[in-house]
Structures are given as C-alpha cells and as structure tokens.
C-alpha cells in the first residue's frame, strides 16, 4: 500500500508498515514529528469514539533532515554538529470522521538535500 493523499489504513501497524515500504522505495528515513493519541482526542471531542487499533488521531511524519538548524548560544568551547537541514518533507495522517481508520490527509514530497541509495 502506498503513502498518498487519501490512502486509508485499518490500524497504526498497517500505517507504519506502509511508511517502512515508502522509506525503502524512496531511500529516505522518516521520523514521527507530532502525534495526538486517541485518548487525548476523545477528551477533546466527547461525542466521537475512536478505534483503539489506530492508536493516534493525528500523526505527522517528517524527514530525519527536517527541523530547524541548531543555533548555539554557548561561548564556543564545545563543537556541536547536527544533521538538520530544514527539509520541508512531511506526511500528515489523521483519523477518519468516524474515528475508525487513519487516512493520509497531506503530503509534501520535496526534499532540499540529495536522495540516494547510499546513506550519508
């Protein structure tokens, strides 16, 4: 199963399996940036029930190179290196309106760094 806008998943495990396949096919590493559990979402919306198999109501994946560049506030005595390159790539996943499945609601499939089979 692919990771495209509109793709639905029956469970969190099915989503993570699809993300792993996407990583292998596109030679990228993704991390989970933001989440909201179904328990927290149910507290926010008391009229909605969630399938516990989906585990999260909102998930945002990003590239391992995503995020802000580290800005040091030190005096320079120690070196700090980071792999962050402010990569704009993301995949946003949300629970369906009935709360029983997860679906991919938005994808920005561009990177600002080289993608290759050889890892850096």
What are the domain boundaries of the chain?
Answer: 8-108
Q: Give the pLDDT mean for 47-76.
A: 84
Where are any strands of DSSP class E within 1-120?
Answer: 8-9, 30-37, 56-63, 90-95, 102-108
pLDDT at position 83, please? Answer: 73
Q: Give the pLDDT mean for 40-55.
A: 89
Quickly state the pLDDT bin for 1 (edges 50, 70, 90): low
pTM exceeds 0.85 for this model: no
Quickly state the pLDDT bin for 114 (edges 50, 70, 90): confident
Quickly state the pLDDT bin for 86 (edges 50, 70, 90): confident
Alpha-carbon distance of 118 to 77, in angstroms, equals 33
């Amino acid at each position: 199963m692919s990771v495209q806008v509109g793709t639905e998943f029956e469970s969190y495990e099915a989503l993570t399996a699809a993300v792993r396949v996407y990583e292998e096919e596109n030679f990228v590493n993704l991390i989970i940036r933001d989440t909201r559990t179904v328990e927290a979402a149910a507290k926010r919306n008391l009229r909605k029930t969630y399938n516990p198999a989906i585990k999260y109501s909102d998930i945002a994946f990003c590239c391992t190179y995503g995020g802000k560049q580290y800005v040091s506030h030190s005096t320079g005595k120690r070196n700090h290196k980071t792999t962050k390159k402010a990569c704009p790539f993301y995949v946003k996943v949300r629970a369906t309106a009935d709360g029983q499945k997860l679906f991919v609601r938005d994808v920005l499939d561009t990177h600002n760094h080289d993608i290759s089979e050889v890892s850096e």
